[in-house]
Every structure is written in C-alpha cells, then in structure tokens.
C-alpha cells in the first residue's frame, strides 16, 4: 500500500490561511486522497477527499499536484477551533482495504491567537 508523509507539527496565526502538505510519492492511479482531523478529546472527523481535481467544501480545499505525488489541505482562514491533528490517508478503490482507514501520525496544527 502507498504511504503518506506529513510534517509532525505546524503553527499558524488565527484568521490566516494554512497549507498542510502531504507527500505520497508511491500513490497508485486508483488511490483517493482523504483528509481527516482529530480535535482534542474527540474522534477523527472527515474533512475532504479527492482523486485528481482540486476539491472545495465548506471546511477546506484540497489541492492535488498534477503528478498526484503530493497534495495540500488548505484552511482558508484558521480559527482556534481548527487546532487539531490532521491526517492524510490514501484509499485504493480496488483494494478490500479501501473500507478501512490507515492513519499515520498526522500533523499537529497549532493556531496562535
């Protein structure tokens, strides 16, 4: 299975954009890129996912490199509530393992007031 690499931690100022990177150089053509985040004392929550094209929703944007070997989760305006561990996860639609999430260590985002 393809693996992801994320920085251990990042800091951002409140009300500024945040770009969270994820490297997945061995990604396959059928791997979807998913992002989940885990707020303190809570379970993970879904953020966004995509295959090739950039994706937007009310929480964030996902920018996927043209070669798909990296992606970036963009929080357009960070708030204190966005402080969490962010996980970048690959799910291959043609593998049985697609029905489970394989979490790495994620990126701990600290938002400074």
Partner 1 sequence: DAGVTQSPTHLIKTRGQQVTLRCSPKSGHDTVSWYQQALGQGPQFIFQYYEEEERQRGNFPDRFSGHQFPNYSSELNVNALLLGDSALYLCASSHRLLDATNEKLFFGSGTQLSVL
Chain positions contacting partner 1, by CB under 8 A: 32, 34, 36, 41-46, 49, 85, 87, 91-93, 96-106
| Residue 22 CB neighbours (<10 A) | 24
14 or 49: whose CB is closer to partner 1? 49
Contact between residue 62 and residue 33 where contact means Cβ atoms under 8 Å apart: yes
Q: Computed from CA positions of residues 14, 63, 69, 89, in that sequence, does the dihedral angle turn out positive or negative?
A: positive
Q: Which tokens hold the place of 108? A: 């701990």
End-to-end CA distance of the chain: 39
> Shortest Cβ distance from residue 14 to partner 1 (Å)?
25
63 or 98: whose CB is closer to partner 1? 98
39 or 112: whose CB is closer to partner 1? 39
> Shortest Cβ distance from residue 48 to partner 1 (Å)?
10
> Shortest Cβ distance from residue 23 to partner 1 (Å)?
16
């Amino acid at each position: 299975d393809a693996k992801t690499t994320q920085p251990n931690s990042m800091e951002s100022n409140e009300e500024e954009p945040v770009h969270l990177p994820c490297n997945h150089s061995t990604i396959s053509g059928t791997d979807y890129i998913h992002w989940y985040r885990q707020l303190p004392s809570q379970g993970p929550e879904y953020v966004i996912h995509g295959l090739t094209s950039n994706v937007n929703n009310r929480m964030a944007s996902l920018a996927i490199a043209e070669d798909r070997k990296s992606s970036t989760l963009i929080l357009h305006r960070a708030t204190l509530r966005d402080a969490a561990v962010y996980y970048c996860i690959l799910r291959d639609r043609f593998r049985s393992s697609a029905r489970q999430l394989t979490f790495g260590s994620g990126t701990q985002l600290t938002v400074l007031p």
